[in-house]
Structure 1
Amino acid sequence: MGLVMKTMNYVRSQEELREMLGSPSLRGQNKVIATIDGHCRDYISKSPFLVLSTSDAKGNCDSSPRGDAPGFVYVLDDQHLIIPDRPGNKRVDSMFNILSNPKIGLLFIIPAMGETLRINGEAAIIKDEEILSKMAVNGKSPQLGILVKVDQCYLHCAKAFKRSGLWEPESWSSKEDLPSAAKILAAHVNMPEMTEERIIADLEEGYKNRLY
């Protein structure tokens, strides 16, 4: 740990944290349920995007975005849901983590809505063709799916979205001011043949032809 980190003033215990921040309200304590009820089903059916969080057996963490048409996550019953695995970069970090540590956290988002749906549980990787065919798009079924057994479901308030102005177009940066994905990747990959122009072409081809 560097010198700057060593000199910081740390919170060292749960008791100290509670003393500083206080305890959650009764509403905050009671809002957690252990099933996918009708309200959660409705939210999931309207959500086109989620963040999937996993960690490996050593606790190394990873967060991965997953998105598709609203309702792309298949609710199997009041305890289980399935996230279809669409074509990606083949790193499969989340799946490797699940194989060593099944604990998982999901954050469902609906555009223009500040409140998010959080789900925590245990995951497994499935390859059942019959079930996965229910999540086919353009005639293409996902090869794999992430089955999640739900332990906790609860709504998270909109304060983060309100503070960030995420859904307020007037607060957005202009396209010209945004970071260049191609420039970032070219610097990080650091391979002579992977120029910005090559990466732009590869990204555009993938977005056009390899979403499913």
Structure 2
Amino acid sequence: MAVSDKPSARETKRLQTRERLMGAAVAEFKRSGIAAADVGAIVAAAGVAHGTFFFHFPTKEHVLLELERREEERIAKQLARFAADNHDLAQTFGEAIRLIVGLERRLGGILFKDFLALHFSQTRPQTDGESQHPVIVEVARAIERAQTLEGVDGDVDPFNSAVFFLLGLYALLTTTHNWPEQSAMLDDYLLRSLRGIGAK
């Protein structure tokens, strides 16, 4: 007798409720930011009882952690697919910038700042199986490949350089949101980041 991999009706309903809550919470966070977000408005939009929110997410920050996990995995997969097509480091860095700028635009300025604040918070809630950030890992892999194929300085630490590149990018995006000069500043940032690790 074969064991079915399909989730039970109860599990399917639980997952659907969680997704409704995620969607309603993200919409509320975009409007008012996480601190001012009203759980009552979230559960009303999701069509569930007040306690259902806390069954799925112990705090509002846990919604943001789930969003962070999903977005990091999505961006890392897209970046890995891009890099697999033999793009050079400049192109891969450019794609990383494009993907993260896309995230900022989708989330909006208020939620993007909250997203990054939690990302770097010393008091962020811990979750099971939390590991290295996959976007950092993909950028570090691209730098390692460039050391082999493009002559990037062998003394460069790929992981540290990936962290520095992404930290600088996040800081630039949060401080220049809606600035008309942002695009030119990002081009300059890309050029200087590549020069900083000895890339052509």
Q: TM-score, normalised by structure 2?
A: 0.30
Q: TM-score, normalised by structure 1?
A: 0.29
